[in-house]
Amino acid sequence: MELLVAMALLAIAVPLAYRGLNGLLQTNARTEVEMLRWQGLAFVFERLEVDLTQVLKRPARNGDGTLLAPLVGDVNALEFSRVAENQPPRRQRYQFKDEQLWLVQLPQPDRGQGRDPDPVAILDGVSQLRFTFLDANGSFLAGWQDPGRLPLALSIDLTLISGERITRLFALP
């Protein structure tokens, strides 16, 4: 009789333990996915911050010889020349397209007649991205083309497909 009672209790406890373990594993998997997503966002914002602190304050030349401002941008794209310690200067473009943030790294600030390198997607799952530029009057502008000066700051307003909205403000040198 005791053996039958023990088997009955075991028959009840095993499915409950399995359900609990299964729920724990599913929660762990969802947490892992969320953690990787937020790590990716942190990487992108850290990369932008480092790049923007190294903006090169000189005009660049386009492939046809026309001058480009040190930093140009509109609501969906940002391009600037940058210089890092122990590295040659380069031109970089961040661009929002097809629910992704793309990065193009040009080998030098002044472009030749050749083709730009292929863009690399650095962030997926973006439903909306907007760059705005703070001018000397304290106004945020939807675009920047001034060849003589940099904006005081850059604001990035990012909305993920899942609905989260993130706004970051970067001071420029």
> Coil, strand or helix: which one is 24?
helix
**99 with 124: CB under 8 angstroms?**
yes
Task: Strand 100-106: give its sheet, edge to edge.
Answer: 71-73, 77-82, 90-97, 100-106, 120-124
Listed by start position, the domains of the chain span 44-171
pLDDT by residue, tens only, the chain of 173 residues: 888 888 888 888 888 888 888 888 899 899 998 899 899 999 999 999 999 999 988 888 877 778 888 999 999 999 999 988 888 888 899 999 999 999 998 877 777 666 778 899 999 999 999 999 999 999 999 999 998 899 999 999 999 999 999 999 999 98
- pTM recorded for the entire structure: 0.80
> H-helix or E-strand containing 119?
none
